[in-house]
Amino acid sequence: MTQREQIIKYIETQLNKSLILKFVTRRLASYDDLKSFAGTQFPLACMVSGLPVAQDKLSSRIQGTIEKTISALSIDCYVYLMDSSDSKADSLISDTADELKKLILSDPRQGKLVLSTSIEFEPHVGRWDPFVAFKITIKMNYLHTTGGI
């Protein structure tokens, strides 16, 4: 298993441990997909990760030999909530986002798989009655050999 996959699985496991999320999947959900989930599976998170981007290359004493690389890996988490009450939707988003931020940043080394973790919230919130959604991007830097990702 690649180091990238280990990191993604670790984040997925952490999200599954969340007391606030009911279901975590590793694929995006369309509106039709959301309608097929049971109400008891909300809030749910859909994780999608890109490929790592090399940040720094660490060379050995032999000039031109690169042995280790620090790469940046981002995981987008789309969090979907079900709430038909517009008056409570904003509070629900705030509470859910706050809990997920605490969870993700409680271990910034992600089980010693990464060097650092930061998160960004997408400022815009999606609304498709009866669903509301927001996006968190988890950004991590990790060290790996040049033999894999």
pLDDT in tens, 89-109: 888 899 999 999 999 999 999
Q: For residue range 2-45, list pLDDT tens digits in order.
A: 999 999 999 999 999 988 999 999 999 999 999 999 999 999 99
Nearest to 21 by CA among 80, 88, 74: 80
Q: Taking Cα atoms as reference points, which of 86, 72, 84 lies closest to residue 42?
A: 84
Q: The domain that contains 7 carries what CATH number? A: 3.30.2000.10
Q: How many domains does the chain have?
A: 1
Percent of residues, the chain, with pLDDT higher than 90: 72
Please, which pLDDT band fits residue 129 given cuts at 50, 70 and 90?
A: confident
3-state percent breakdown (helix, strand, coil) of the chain, nearest 5: 30, 40, 30
Q: Which domain holds residue 59?
A: 3-145
pTM: 0.89
